[in-house]
Amino acid sequence: MRYNPLGKTGLFVSELCLGAMTFGGKGFWEAIGKLGNQEAETLVGTALDAGVNFIDTADVYSEGESERLVGAALKSLARPRELIVVATKVRGRVGPGVNQVGLSRAHILSSIDGSLKRLGLDHVDLYQIHGFDPATPIEETVRALDDVVRSGKARYVGFSNLPAWLASKAITFAEENGLARFQSAQVYYSIAGRDIEREIAPLCQAEGVAILPWSPLAGGLLSGKFDPDKKGPADARRASFDFPPVNMERLPRVLAALRKVSEATNVSVARVALAWQLTRPFVTSIIIGAKKKEQLVDNLAAVDVKLSAEHVKLLDEASALPSEYPGWMVEFQNARDPRGVGKMPTEAEIRAAMDRVK
């Protein structure tokens, strides 16, 4: 297991993070997983024993039950608190009240107390906003998060599921006003869904923000259990919860490439998908979830898979995003020179640039 810095903090997290969305199984979340105390403790212990030092949950997962189970597992396992990085999130609805949702100061300050109580901790290491709240100015959210950090209830803050423009606005506002700024971005990313490479990943690289991909196996589609032309196992998460959305036209060639590399390396399709993601320079820690110990063990073994340059190229090409504006224009304008200046491009250079953006 390798460890990477969390943004600009000096805090290091394992390259794999245990996601606790399968813990609890209450309400809407039952389709994703319904692990109880013993199963949750087994997964947490297995991950920690493998070198994982990072656990992620959220106040909305199983209506708070996921946080409680994470806290109970940590207490039962009795590992030193300073060795474990605990992250949770705020934004979703946690009650029937009109203000029991969103990213207002009122909801954030109330929610951090609720999360800490359920976790049985006096602080979390990373407190993340769980998405966009159109009712609350981002400036109010950033100031409230800064208050949470200054109170000692969270060490650092991050965001999840924001558009790049809004994340950039929040980071700029925080830095201009001496407030705690986002150190991490928890975003959907998989070899079947590389959308963040357009805007979010470049932003995070430029600003020194850690990228924490969620659903790296695309809700189980990349587990090796599914084919484009047939359904997977009835008890698989994707069978009852078709999320996140995946471009089904590109999926067959992605799966074909994964299977080819899987056969060549003699490891599971899921491990290949995770190993490919670990080759991305902007990825800090991949969030992996599991229902069973054997599934978790297989995913954890992805850190030992070394993909050849040929295999990475095969996977890159099979999963490449189609060009979109302004990306294709940037590439065309800079085809002649990395700085966009110098001699005029030759006809061959222009044709090559146009071929790449088709």
Q: Which residues contact 343 (CB under 8 A, 6 or more apart)?
A: 336, 337
Phi, psi of 71 (to 5 degrees): -60, -40
Asked if 268 and 201 touch (Cβ cutoff 8 Å), the reply is no
Q: Hey, what are 132's tokens?
A: 């966009």
Pairing between β-strand 54-56 and β-strand 182-188 as defined by DSSP bridges: unpaired
| Helices and strands (DSSP H and E) totals, the chain | 13, 10
Residue 204 CB-half CA count within 13 A: 28
Distant-in-sequence, close-in-space partners of 43: CB < 8 Å, separation ≥ 6: 18, 35, 73, 290, 293, 296
Q: Return the CA Rg of the chain.
A: 21
Residue with tokens 């029991």: 100
Catalytic residue among 3, 61, 156, 188: 61
Residue type, position 237, single letter: R
Coil/strand/helix, residue 81? helix
Minimal CA–CA distance to 167: which of 124, 207, 107, 195? 207
The DSSP H or E segment spanning 30 is none
Active site residue 325: no
Positive or negative, the CA dihedral 350, 358, 162, 2 is negative
CA distance 137 to 296: 39
Give the relative orientation of helices 200-207 and 164-176 as an angle to the nearest 10 degrees.
20
Region label for 158, one of left (φ > 0), alpha (ψ between -120 and 50) or beta (otherwise): beta
C-alpha to C-alpha distance for 44 and 55, rounded to whole angstroms: 8
Residues marked active site are found at 61
